[in-house]
Structure 1
Amino acid sequence: MEFHTSINKRRIVRIEETVSETPTVKTLVFKDGLSYTAKPGQFLMIWIPRIEEIPMSVMINSKEGYAAVTIRKSGIGSTALFERKKGDFIGLRGPYGNEFNLRKNYKKILIIGGGTGLVPLLRLASYASKKKLKITTVLGARTKKEVFFEKIARKLTEPGDSS
């Protein structure tokens, strides 16, 4: 079963869904138990044949056993990953890295981010929401058209606190 697989061993997964966030940003959803259990702040190493591995933060996903990564099309690796479609395969290892530390005495948190930098922060917000912390989010982007994940941020934030 996937949960007992070593994080260092490359796993091949099928892309189950793609979501176009903007013309240059896409989210890929795949089934992988280890990725699903990633803590806020952890990342995966994603591999495509003939492309070096690239680190990607793990996006929140509500389906049990599924995980997602969000890509901005920019360099060779991210463009190759961006061009993957439903049914394509990718390789991955991880999750790696240290998780964000939410101390037990925290009652509220402020999350500020923009673009694909929101991916680990939304995972943190989801975790904080389950702990009943008050969450305020500030989303940034170059233009209004480039704002994405606004609905997710609003859902995780107490009414009236999302900017």
Structure 2
Amino acid sequence: MDDLFREVVHRPKVLPISRVVKETPTTKTFYVDCPDISSKVRPGQFVMLWVIGTDEVPMSVSKADKNGELGLTVAKVGDATARLHELGEGDQIGVRGPYGNWFDLSGNRLLMVGGGYGVAPLAFGAEVALSEGKKVTVILGAKTSDELLFRSRLENLNVELKISTEDGSAGVKGLATEVLEDILERTKFDCIFACGPELMLKKTFDLSEEYKIPLQVSLERMMKCSVGLCGSCCIGPYRVCVDGPIFSADKLRKIKDEFGIFKRDASGRKIGL
């Protein structure tokens, strides 16, 4: 990872948006042509996305192809993302990266658990894993069927897809972790990969410990610099931007007094989950 980090260009590349795809009522994917990043980014890494005139925010990469197109899937959750959702083809954004570590897709039978827009880096990871001949099962969870991000994309892949919605409008009625528990009672996997709300990640961690299956989760924290200097993304002894965003079960055990309990806002104040 050190060699890759040294290759990163920390000044944003200002690029026109090549296309925008509305994925769900609250989520869009913004595409830019950026071969410098798309050629080296790996599933689980992130970029810093500059919404010019508003803010710069971290964003997982949901798509990167050999033609240089980079996809960033963004939920409208704050000022920067709300402004981004107002932009269209031809408007300019800034992108720098890639940053952080990535999913280790070792093993032959992989299980991916995505909640809400957390499925974005997992869909990218599933495509890479399948290209390497892995067998992939994906649990896709959301509050309602309208919010099932990348459902059709995953249905078109050679994955075993399990769907859950909290209101029962698609798939199993309930939480993704309830589907996870049911699957783990019957099937053995080489590794679990998860991204989504932190309470979902905590439950996934607890189940992985119970069933003794290696786990990798993607954590989200307030992030400003992305290079380990400002400390705004600290969790326990780790800085999410450089020690993460992917955390193994070994690391999660060291932050059990914080993981799944609270985050910190821009001022460093604790906020309960």
Q: Do they fold alike, i.e. is TM over 0.5? A: yes
Shift of 1:80: 1.1
Q: Secondary structure at the match of 1:156?
A: coil
Shift of 1:12: 0.6
Cα gap change, 1:6/1:162 in structure 2, threshold over 3 Å: closer, same or farther? closer
Task: Find 2:76's aligned residue among 73, 77, 82.
Answer: 73
Alignment of 1:120-159 (within 5 A): 120-158=121-159
Q: 1:47 and 2:50 equivalent? A: yes
Shift of 1:151: 1.6
- Name the larger-Rg structure: 2
Q: 1:162 and 2:161 equivalent? A: yes
Shift of 1:65: 0.5
- 2: CA distance, partners of 1:11 / 1:70: 18
- 2: CA distance, partners of 1:136 / 1:33: 30
The answer to whether the 8 A contact 2:48-2:56 is kept is yes
Partner residue, 1:82: 85
Partner residue, 1:113: 114
Cα gap change, 1:63/1:22 in structure 2, threshold over 3 Å: closer, same or farther? farther
Shift of 1:156: 2.8
Q: 1:16 and 2:18 equivalent? A: yes
Shift of 1:50: 2.4
- 1: CA distance, partners of 2:101 / 2:89: 30
Normalising to structure 2: TM-score of the pair?
0.54
Normalising to structure 1: TM-score of the pair?
0.89
Cα gap change, 1:150/1:15 in structure 2, threshold over 3 Å: closer, same or farther? same
Q: Percent identity?
A: 36
Larger RCO, structure (CA 8 Å, separation 6 or more) = 1
Aligned CA-pair RMSD:
1.5
Task: Find 1:57's aligned residue among 55, 60, 63.
Answer: 60
- 2: CA distance, partners of 1:155 / 1:128: 15
Partner residue, 2:230: none
- 1: CA distance, partners of 2:126 / 2:52: 33
Q: Which amino acid aligns with 2:15?
A: V
Q: CA offsets per residue over residues 122-148 of structure 1, 9 Å max, x none?
A: 111111011110000110000111112
Shift of 1:6: 4.4
Partner residue, 1:34: 36
Cα gap change, 1:61/1:101 in structure 2, threshold over 3 Å: closer, same or farther? closer
- 2: CA distance, partners of 1:11 / 1:80: 19
- 2: CA distance, partners of 1:34 / 1:150: 29
Moved segments of 4+, more than 6 Å:
none
Shift of 1:62: 4.4
- 2: CA distance, partners of 1:88 / 1:115: 27
Ranges in structure 1 where 5+ consecutive residues have no aligned partner: none
Ranges in structure 2 where 5+ consecutive residues have no aligned partner: 1-6, 163-273
